[in-house]
A and B are shown apart, each in its own frame.
Chain A
Amino acid sequence: MSARNIGIVYRKELTEALRDRRTLITMFVLPLIIFPLLSVGFGAMIAVLIGKAKEESPKVMVIGGEDSPNVLAGLKKVPKIQIVPLESNWKEQVVNKQIPVVVEIPEGFERNLANQKEQTVLIHDYEGELKSETAKNKVEKYFNEYRDSVVKDRLAARSLPVSILKPFAIKPHNVASPEKSGGALFFGGFIAYVVVFLCLNGGMHPAMDLTAGEKERGTMETILSSPISRSHLVLGKFLLVLTTALTTAALSVISMGISFAIANSLNTKPIQAGEADTTLHIGVGAALSVFIMAVPLAVLFSSVLITISTFAKSYKEAQSYIMPLIFIVIIPAIAAMLPGVELTPKLALVPILNVSLLCKELVIGTYHWNYIAIIFASTCVYAAAALFLAIKMFQRESVLFRS
């Protein structure tokens, strides 16, 4: 009888929710539009911009160098830069981003080289500006190579081997698999954050609408006059809130997986080899385990949301109570994204933070089974306590008829 009643309430709330534009937007539109936009759209845009900056031939002005024709000739041969005549307001032009870089070759550069005098080539650039940086890198690369060739010649002149300047090489070697290192680490944290946030976001509107909203519309008194018990009623409502929270979370994980896959296939072209280790993807196994961890968290969120909004007299009042809750949830989720924040036995008991940290690991395919057990169990305990509180709250007259 009780399962039947809860089912009746759930089905009715589901019917209403599926006719509610706001619920539909948070549940389907947000995850299905935001992620493609964030990853494919934004990612493609960045790729295009970077690609464009690299394809372009930036203009370069040269100060001096009239007495060093070889260097100048070499510079002119550098592919994809364009030497333009020097103008007196060059500094202003760099600042105004009209020209990316200006190279200053000291007077008597080649003569000084021959005399082995110390000297400096200045590259005037606009630090942090994409086009200027690309041009600077090209110019710098040319001068580095030129310097190396000078060194080589000098060594050769003294019949010394090149290895005298480079007695040994140093090379970092990444032993972690590429999908568990680099950008993937941050990416894992980001996904955890998104899942946690959307889980809360998905349940927010229905929780407020089904409790405070009902009080405001007057349907609360109607339903309380029907024979259903209050605990069954609140459980039916809770299940609906849980459904929307989980649907939002699941759809966002799926949408993210697909969008990143598409983004990757688009990105491989403009980004050249050597930088391709930014390929981000979520495997089916990782997505599934993140979703499973999200279940008790969604129960916790749904219960807390219902408890708080049951107390409120109106939808608006509920919103003002839920506002601080968003921050309480987001702060640990963001903290989990920070580099260096890792799972410890103590952190494994901190709600939200523990799941976020674990999801970060799950996304990159690391399974710490003991942590998984602790975190799943502790979140279940918090969730059960919150659900109990929600049921108790819903049975208090002073709360249901607060005026």
Chain B
Amino acid sequence: MIEARGLSKRFQDKKRGEIRAVDNVSFTCQPGKIYGLLGANGAGKTTTLRMLATILEPTDGTAIVCGHDVIEQPEKVRANVGFLSTATALYPRLTAQELVEYFGRLNGLDEATLKKRVDSIFNRLDMNGFRDRRCDKLSTGMKQKTSIARTLVHDPPVMIFDEPTNGLDVMTARTITAFIHECRNNGKTVIFSTHIMSEVEKLCDTIGIIQSGKLLSEGTLAQLRDQHHEQDLEDIFVKVVAPHYAPAEVN
């Protein structure tokens, strides 16, 4: 369960002054459901998700993740969250197994539990072929599997995906979307961000459209179609975002 309550993040930029990357955003994600944050580049998706994962601290508002406040108990929040993005790389000089074990230990697993967990994940994701291969020698697909294994090692009830398929080829991207589905079926709370309409249509139970740091519209696909009198998600998105749209970087 994730509850964002008036989540806000302001940055100071030398040239442009104060920037409201996320501006008073509130929403709720339920267990066993997928919440999709849809937005253009620079809309505030990554900042929102980073605040939920306690990588960044909100300047205003807060969020409750699995009953823990992101500001008060960031370490407890992180212990309940699996965070995956295309930016979350792997340590090149560790083997796939060492990497997954490292994150298991950081999550407080004892050696016996860790071994059992690692074995079961490696079997399930069919990773035994490259268990002892260093991460810098893995193919993109193998890296994605290792990243997934890393987020799963402590079996977190909440999964946060930040543009997880960005820059991946179709086959690798499918591994990820299949994994997101599986997370939902296992009763996890899932939130993910993307700018790809088809992914949202296929995966999401609830869609939030975000632009300029503001959550502009929210609902199931059916609800959004109703509200905005459009069938196609892309048309809905453009209709919602257009009045607020300013290119992210104006130089």
Spell out A's residues near B (CB within 8 Å): 1, 5, 8-9, 12, 15-16, 19-20, 217-219, 221-222, 224-229, 397, 401
Contacts and interface: CB of A to CB of B under 8 A. Distances in A.
A5 B57 contact: no
B78 A225 contact: yes
B56 interface: yes
Contacts of B91: 12, 16, 219
B93 A225 contact: no
30 contacts: A5-B106, A8-B102, A9-B106, A12-B98, A12-B102, A15-B93, A15-B94, A16-B93, A19-B93, A20-B93, A218-B89, A219-B88, A219-B90, A219-B91, A221-B88, A221-B89, A222-B89, A222-B150, A224-B55, A225-B55, A225-B78, A225-B83, A226-B103, A226-B107, A227-B75, A227-B76, A227-B79, A227-B106, A227-B107, A397-B56
A218 B150 CA distance: 15
Contacts of A227: 75-76, 78-79, 106-108
Contact of B53 (A19, A218, A219, A225): A225
Contacts of B89: 217-219, 221-222
A397 B71 CA distance: 14
B190 interface: no
Nearest to B135: A219
Nearest to B53: A225
B81 A225 contact: yes
A222 B90 contact: yes
Contacts of B78: 225-227
A244 to B, nearest CB: 15
B77 to A, nearest CB: 8
Nearest to B91: A219
Interface hub of A1, A8, A9, A222 (most chain B Cβ within 10 A):
A222
A217 to B, nearest CB: 5
A227 B77 CA distance: 8
Given A224-B55, A401-B56, 8 more contacts: A12-B102, A16-B91, A19-B134, A218-B87, A222-B89, A222-B150, A226-B78, A227-B79
Nearest to B55: A224
B105 interface: yes
B106 A8 contact: yes
B88 A218 contact: yes
Contacts of A19: 93, 134
Contacts of B53: 225
Contact of B94 (A1, A9, A16, A218): A16
Contacts of B57: 397
A385 B141 CA distance: 45
Contact of B88 (A8, A225, A228, A397): A225
Contacts of B83: 225
Given A12-B94, A16-B94, A221 B106 contact: no
B220 interface: no
Contacts of A218: 87-89
The residue in A12, A20, A225, A401 that gathers the most chain B C-beta atoms within 10 A of its C-beta is A225
A221 B87 contact: yes
Contacts of A12: 91, 94, 98, 102
A217 B106 contact: no
Contacts of A229: 75
A14 to B, nearest CB: 11
Contacts of B102: 8, 12
Contacts of B93: 15-16, 19-20
A161 to B, nearest CB: 84
B175 interface: no
Contacts of B56: 397, 401
B88 A226 contact: no
A108 B91 CA distance: 88
Given A12-B94, A15-B98, A16-B93, A222 B75 contact: no
A1 B79 CA distance: 14
Nearest to B153: A226
A34 to B, nearest CB: 26
Nearest to B103: A226
B30 to A, nearest CB: 22
Nearest to A16: B93
B67 interface: no
B85 interface: yes
A1 B87 CA distance: 29
B92 interface: yes
B191 to A, nearest CB: 14
A217 B92 CA distance: 9
A228 B87 contact: no
Interface in B97-126: 98, 102-103, 105-108
A43 to B, nearest CB: 38
Nearest to A397: B56
Contacts of B90: 219, 222
A225 B156 CA distance: 12
A15, A219, A229 — most chain B CB neighbours (10 Å):
A219
A278 B144 CA distance: 63
A397 B21 CA distance: 14
B72 to A, nearest CB: 14
Interface string B10-43: 0000000000000000000000000000000000
A163 B106 CA distance: 88
B68 to A, nearest CB: 11
Contacts of A224: 55
Q: Which of A12, A217, A218 has the most CB of B within 10 A?
A: A12
A276 B93 CA distance: 51
Interface string B47-88: 000000101110000000000000000011011010101011
Contacts of B75: 227-229
Contacts of A219: 88-91
